A = this chain, B = another copy of it.
Amino acid sequence: MQRTNGQIETKQRVGRSDRAAQRKDTRALMVRCGIELFTERGFQATGIDEIRARVSVPKGSFYHFFESKHAFGMAVVDSYAAYFERKLKRHFDDDSLSALERLRSFVEDAKGGMQKFNFQRGCLIGNLGQELGGIDDRFRDKLELVLQSWQRMTAACLKSAVDADELSSQTDCDALAEFFWIGWEGAILRAKLTRNNEPLDRFFSMFLSTASAVA
């Protein structure tokens, strides 16, 4: 009996653990789908029914995963922010490049991403900031924190450039990193209108002139 019970218990545990894993997969699929649709069309124009249908979640089950569309939006931002931080870290930690080349490496990667999606997506944080920054305080606060986190990583990369004498020791790396993200989000927006990477190239080459000039 003990053994049988033990087996049943194990089966139950496996069953529960399978269901938990499946549930986690489904949730991750929904978030991934949210990243795509929110980036391309925005938060307000994307219905949760479409997300649900795309990942084959039964009608009415959305709220077993997220308590509201708003909570779902927050989870989507968290996931995108984590993905993007990994991307930045990959470039900024690349010891085979000089510090400024690491920043350029990120720029080239982003250009590839823009082209891959035919200049239709851009940056989720910029898009939601534009759409919701003025009308939703919780999104506004979260999106600003994400940008500040990217800025800190960029400032650290610029500080490495100072240490390596690529930039003057007088450089205000925090201010320059803030300037980078202000202009970069503008360049991504503009590239959606020009349907090419010229705004990103224009911004980055001017940014490098600025970086030399502000020293």
A residues engaging B (CB < 8 A)? Answer: 40-42, 44-45, 119-122, 126-127, 129-131, 133-135, 140, 143-144, 147, 175-176, 178-179, 181-187, 189-190, 192-195, 199, 202-203, 206, 209-210, 212-214
Distance between A146 CB and nearest chain B CB, rounded to angstroms:
10
Shortest Cβ distance from residue A108 to the other chain B in the assembled complex, whole angstroms: 18
Query: Chain B contacts of A121 at CB under 8 A?
Result: 134
When chains A and B are docked, how far (Å) is the Cα of A126 from the Cα of B45? 18
Asked if A193 and B42 sit within 8 Å, CB to CB, the answer is no
Q: B193 to A140, Cβ gap below 8 A?
A: yes
19 A-B pairs in the complex with CB atoms less than 8 angstroms apart: A42-B131, A44-B45, A45-B45, A120-B134, A126-B130, A126-B186, A129-B190, A130-B131, A130-B189, A133-B189, A133-B192, A134-B192, A179-B206, A181-B190, A182-B190, A183-B203, A185-B190, A186-B186, A186-B189
Q: Which residues of B contact A133 (CB under 8 A)?
A: 122, 189, 192-193
Closest chain B residue to A131 by CB distance? Answer: B42
Given A175-B206, A178-B202: 8 more A-B contacts, CB < 8 Å: A41-B44, A129-B192, A143-B193, A144-B194, A147-B193, A185-B186, A185-B189, A186-B189
Q: Which residues of B contact A209 (CB under 8 A)?
A: 210, 213-214
